[in-house]
Copies of this chain bind each other. A is one copy, B any other.
């Protein structure tokens, strides 16, 4: 009888690490680094409690997976011991490839390679290190296993990833609107024709889940101040890379220096395995210590951007439903140069527009299916006679404009 490791979690109370292999994966440096990568990146500048990490989220999703497996088995769905371990590993590692602030910096640190690509490389590397014991987990993760519902538990409209992150992000940010009844939803899970379904009496919980997800998008994930902060971060990295290209001196950890000074592509990662290890040394701290130091950099643009970030003097952001007129942006652009004492070629670091997009439920790509007592299965968008899911699934697009807050008074 092997002792299990127990982690404290404010949300679920206890999280148990159930398999030997899982413990070893958690102890691996690739996974331990997730302790230093925040789930919501820079959002803690808006919600000061939102400091939780990808490490904790992965553990939470793993915990929910254990519950889901148990519920499905109790309803007669066959899941072997080997499959249970594999699907648990798959959810534990689903985000392993995320880098620092990866939502924002995905193409700033290493170009042309997504966090999914890096996850894939890391899983393969781990599979080698663990003598092929991750093979089934990887098949499930890539949806190459014949029991497709196992993949759906890892990645679909109602996967354990979403169930955990909605609750976790709500909990730590204090935005109680996003809290969902994950245990209630999991209790209602079943499998019909190799496909995950929700029993009909769970329909309200699913509706609530869809609404909660949408609200979290607008209130947290796409919160305007967080959007402004993320773009500031992107611009800092963009400027730093430009300066590095020009041979300028830049304080940074050795790992970050390497990525600032080169333009590595996916091909490079595949060719030289050491690049993956170098990437795995990066975390949120590398970025922020550099930002603090760069405040004193002699490049005025970099210095100004970094000071705004470290002192939380973010750019003012306006959001609306239609694009901003060229006239407006020109106006801000023109005034920004003189205000900040920078050239026209650099003003786009401080004045810029963009758009935000979200749809809460996308029935085109992937459905949430409701199982009725008579065995009928219906997409939630049809099943819900009371909530207009079709409206929720229509993507919402908004436009934003960022500029230095000081310009507000000048312009108006």
Contact = CB atoms under 8 A, between A and B. Distances in A.
A205 B216 CA distance: 11
Give the number of copies in the complex: 4
Interface stretch (A6-14, A91-99, A113-121): A6-14
Given A6-B187, A173-B10, A288-B36, A215 B207 contact: yes
A101 to B, nearest CB: 13
A145 interface: no
Interface residues of A, number: 76
Nearest to A8: B174
A14 B187 contact: yes
Contact of A49 (B4, B52, B175): B52
Interface string A287-316: 011001100100000000000001110000
A8 B392 CA distance: 26
Interface in A35-59: 35-36, 44-45, 47-49, 51-53, 55-56, 59
Contacts of A52: 49, 51
A205 B175 CA distance: 10
Given A288-B285, A388-B388, A14 B49 contact: no
A8 B175 contact: yes
A312 B13 CA distance: 22
Contact of A32 (B9, B205, B310): B310
Given A8-B175, A171-B10, A214-B387, A254 B293 contact: yes
Interface of A: 1, 4, 6-11, 13-14, 27, 29, 32, 35-36, 44-45, 47-49, 51-53, 55-56, 59, 74-76, 171-177, 179, 181, 183-184, 187, 204-205, 207-208, 211-212, 214-215, 218-219, 251, 253-255, 281, 283-286, 288-289, 292-293, 296, 310-312, 321, 385-388, 391-392, 396
